[in-house]
Amino acid sequence: MVVAYIGLGSNLGDPRAQVEEGIDELAALDGDHLLARSWLYATAPVGPIDQPDYVNAVVALQTRRSPVDLLGALQAIERRHGRRRDGERWGPRTLDLDILLYGRRAVTGPGLILPHPQIRHRAFVLVPLADIAPLDLAVPGQGALGELLRACPMQGVARLAEPPAAIGGRPAPPLSCC
C-alpha cells in the first residue's frame, strides 16, 4: 500500500458539488482507502483562457494500484463527470483529478510525471495539501512541502467557510493541520 495525494478541481456546473462527488467516488474506489481530505478552496484559474474561478481540494488515498492504474481510475471518474480531453490546456473543467504525489516515488513515463511537475508553482494545490500532509513531507526532487509553500505566491486562494463534508455518510477524516 502507498499513500497518494490527489488534487481535485472544478469550475463548471456546480464546482463544489463536482469536487464533493469526486471525493466520494475516490472514497468508494474498490481496494483503496481515503485517509484524509482538505478543506475546499476557491481559486483563481491558471492560464490564458478567460474562465470562472475553481473549487479545489486535495485528498490522501491509500492504494495498492500502480501509478498508471490509479491514473486510469481517476480518468474514469473524470469521464463520468463529463470531462473531455480535447487538447486544450488550462481550460474549464467539470472535474479534474491529478496525482500530485505517489508515496516518495518519482515517475516519468508516457502521460504521467510524478510528482506533479507544476506542484511547486501551484498554491491551489500546496495550500490544501498542507491541510492534510505534514509540512516536512518530501516532494521528490523539489523540497519539503513547507518550503514550497513559503516560496509560492498565495494570491487567488481562499478557503471556503464550510468545513469538509462527510465521506460516504461518515464524518470526514480529521484535518492534520490548519
Report the catalytic residues.
83, 93, 96, 98
Integer Cα distance of 114 and 105 in angstroms: 7
Residue type, 120: R
